[in-house]
Amino acid sequence: MTESGEEMYALVERLYPLCRSITGDGVRATLRIVDEYIPLHVHEVPTGTQVLDWTVPQEWNIRDAYIADGAGRRVVDFAASSLHVLGYSVPVSATMPLAELRPHLHTLPDHPSWVPYRTSYYQPEWGFCLAQETLDAMPDGEYEVRIDSTLADGHLTYAEHVVPGQVPDEVIVSCHTCHPSLANDNLAGIAVAVFLARELAERTPYHTYRFVFAPGTIGAITWLARNRERVNGASPARAEPRARGMVRHGLVLACAGDPGQLTYKRSRRGDAEIDQVMRHVLTASGRPHRVTEFTPYGYDERQYCSPGFDLGVGSLTRTPYAGYPEYHTSADDLDFVSPDAMADTLAVCREAFAVLDRNRRYVNLSPYGEPQLGRRGLYDALGGRSDTKQAQMAMLWVLSLSDGEHSLLDVAERSGLPFDTVADAAGALHGAGLLKA
CATH number for the domain that contains residue 366: 1.10.10.10
Among 98-102, 233-237, 322-326, the least confident range: 233-237
> Residue 284 sits in which domain range?
3-57+155-358
DSSP H helices, 286-418, are 301-304, 339-358, 378-381, 388-401, 408-415
- Over the stretch 3-15, which tens digit does the pLDDT of each residue have? 899 999 999 999 9
**Is 146 found in the same domain as 258?**
no
**Is 234 found in the same domain as 147?**
no
* 375 band by pLDDT with thresholds 50, 70 and 90: confident
Neighbours of 366 (CB within 10 A): 15
pLDDT for the residue numbered 379:
73
**Is 283 found in the same domain as 193?**
yes
**Is 378 found in the same domain as 327?**
no
Does the pLDDT value for residue 251 go beyond 90? yes
- Over the stretch 259-288, which tens digit does the pLDDT of each residue have? 999 999 999 999 999 999 999 999 999 999
Does the pLDDT value for residue 2 go beyond 80? no
**Is 63 found in the same domain as 38?**
no
DSSP bridge partners of 297: none
pLDDT for the residue numbered 389:
84
DSSP bridge partners of 176: 214
CB neighbour burial string for 369-404, b if at least 16 within 10 angstroms, e if fewer: eebebeebebeebbeeeeeeebbbbbbebbbebbee
Stretch 295-300: mean pLDDT, rounded? 95
On whether the CB atoms of residues 257 and 183 are closer than 8 A, the answer is: yes
Percentage of the chain modeled with pLDDT above 90: 90
Residue at which a domain ends, from 305, 340, 358: 358
Residue at which a domain ends, from 127, 151, 175: 151
pLDDT for the residue numbered 374:
83
**Is 172 found in the same domain as 68?**
no
Stretch 22-38: mean pLDDT, rounded? 98
The more confidently predicted of residues 48 and 240 is 48
| Sequence-distant (≥ 6) Cβ neighbours of residue 332 within 8 angstroms | 182, 183, 184, 185, 326
Residue at which a domain ends, from 151, 171, 200: 151
Stretch 321-333: mean pLDDT, rounded? 97
Tell me what the pLDDT averaged over the chain comes to: 94
* 244 band by pLDDT with thresholds 50, 70 and 90: low
On whether the CB atoms of residues 147 and 37 are closer than 8 A, the answer is: no
* 289 among annotated binding-site residues: no
**Is 43 found in the same domain as 78?**
no
**Is 37 found in the same domain as 69?**
no
* 161 among annotated binding-site residues: no
Amino acid making up residue 381: A
DSSP bridge partners of 96: 143
Q: How far apart are the C-alpha atoms of 48 and 153, rounded to whole Å?
A: 8
Which of 432, 397, 436 minimizes the C-alpha distance to 417?
397
**Is 169 found in the same domain as 119?**
no
- Rounded to 5 degrees, what are φ and ψ at 20? -100, 155
Instruction: Count up the domains in the chain and report the number.
Output: 3
On whether the CB atoms of residues 245 and 232 are closer than 8 A, the answer is: yes
User: What predicted TM-score, i.e. pTM, was given to this entire model?
Assistant: 0.94
How open is the CA angle 96-97-98, to the nearest 5 degrees?
120
* 350 band by pLDDT with thresholds 50, 70 and 90: very high
**Is 247 found in the same domain as 125?**
no
DSSP bridge partners of 252: 174, 315
CATH number for the domain that contains residue 73: 3.50.30.90
* 185 among annotated binding-site residues: yes
Cα first-last separation, the chain: 41
**Is 170 found in the same domain as 144?**
no
- Over the stretch 108-125, which tens digit does the pLDDT of each residue have? 999 999 999 999 999 999
Which of 95, 87, 104 minimizes the C-alpha distance to 146?
95
CATH number for the domain that contains residue 337: 3.40.630.10
**Is 321 found in the same domain as 277?**
yes
- Over the stretch 159-212, which tens digit does the pLDDT of each residue have? 999 999 999 999 999 999 999 999 999 999 999 999 999 999 999 999 999 999
